[in-house]
Structure 1
Amino acid sequence: METLEAIHTRRSIRKYTDRPVPRELVTELLRAAMSAPSAVNAQPWVFIVIDDRKILDEIPTFSPYAGMCREAPLAILVCGDTTQEKAPGYWVQDCSAAIQNLLLAAHDAGLGAVWTGIFPMTDRVQGFRKAFGLPGHVFPLGLVPVGYPAEKPSPQDRYREEKVYNNRYGQKRE
């Protein structure tokens, strides 16, 4: 799959088959995530691969928009370790880039995935801290349920000319 095709056809997948995702494929997703750019190449990310059914079923009790974990064969928790930062505060951008790479790699591999937000919602952050034993310097940014898709949403063209300006805010392109 070419890069632009992957970008334009990737969709958030919330329904999965019960087919397990091979460990080698999970490693490839993580390899792609860790290939993301990061400020000063700090790579402040930490990943927790969750494939325990009991834990996956519990996640929606403290993360209300992660109900699809009850169907997904696995999820990847993406966290930022602030002790690894070289440019304070950039862990959010760094880990966001890693999540986008993970989503595109999953799509390219024929998997479905969806980014569910955690940070900065205090209740969700605390829920993930407690459930996964995260120390104070490790912040959960997002959870990505992953699996073989049981749905196939159509691609959408989301380009909107009205959101593009030229040189200054409010100045339309000609």
Structure 2
Amino acid sequence: MSIIYRRRSIRKYQKKDVPDELVKEIIRAAMHAPSACNQQPWHFVVIRNEETKKKIAEIHPHAQMSAEAPVVILVCGDPTLEKCKGYWIQDCSAAVENLLLRATELGLGAVWCGVYPREERVKAFRELLGIPEHVVPFALVPVGYPAEHPVQVDRFKPERIHYEKW
């Protein structure tokens, strides 16, 4: 549970590369997320190119940190892989959360930047990265060694729990 409580959105990174082995490890964790009918409708685009990362920062108004992150991962959903229609969004959300938790466990920092359902962002990422029309850019995750350490916050709100009925 300490990983869940320790995970924070990290937007500042050290100027230190993230090894390919660690990138594969956090994507491996993402691929172990639960998915409806075990459909696993995800794809991952790993971006290290400096020019591409600068363009990402221009495309996404809340992803300026992408230009400074050593690596950026774009999580995409592929509705053509669905066995249980309509659940790819939940499946990809679970994959992103697993990715974030594993990154934290490995001493990395990351932040979830939403792409879908903003059509202008979806279109821009398709064009920038050559993503096929049937694949949907879902979330952008800049990753690196943290250069900031936000304070842990207790987000537990017992007033949001309802038993038996509302």
Paired position in structure 2 for 1:165: 162
1:95 aligns with 2:92: yes
* 57, 61, 66: which one aligns with 2:63: 66
* Pick aligned residue for 2:23 from 26, 35, 46: 26
**Distance apart, 1:136 and its partner CA:** 1.7
Distance between the aligned counterparts of 1:69 and 1:62, measured in 2?
A: 10
The offset of 1:100, in angstroms, is: 0.3
- Which entry has the higher C-alpha Rg, 1 or 2? 1
The 1-side partners of 2:11 and 2:150 are apart by 10
Query: Identity across aligned pairs (percent)?
Result: 54
**1:172 equivalent in structure 2:** none
Moved beyond 6 Å, runs of 4+: none
In structure 1, the residue corresponding to 2:13 is in which secondary structure?
Answer: coil
The whole-number CA distance in structure 2 between the counterparts of 1:94 and 1:20 is 29
> How is 1:7-156 mapped onto 2 (pairs within 5 angstroms)?
7-156=4-153
Give the residue type in structure 1 aligned to 2:55: E
Distance 1:167 1:124 in 2: 40
Measured after TM superposition, the shift of residue 61 of structure 1 is 1.4
Query: Aligned partners of 1:115 and 1:121: how far apart in 2?
Result: 15
- The CA distance in 1 between the partners of 2:6 and 2:59, in whole Å, is 31
Q: Distance in 2 between matches of 1:31 and 1:135?
A: 23
Letter in 2 for 1:154: V
Cα distance in 2 for residues equivalent to 1:166 and 1:148: 41
SS in 1 for 2:14: coil
Mind listing any 5+ residue stretches in structure 1 that lack a counterpart?
Answer: 170-174
Q: How far does residue 160 in structure 1 lie from its aligned partner after superposition? A: 0.7
TM-score (norm: length of structure 2) = 0.98
**What do the CA deviations read for 1:102-135 (whole angstroms, capped 9, x no partner)?**
0000000000000000000111111111111111
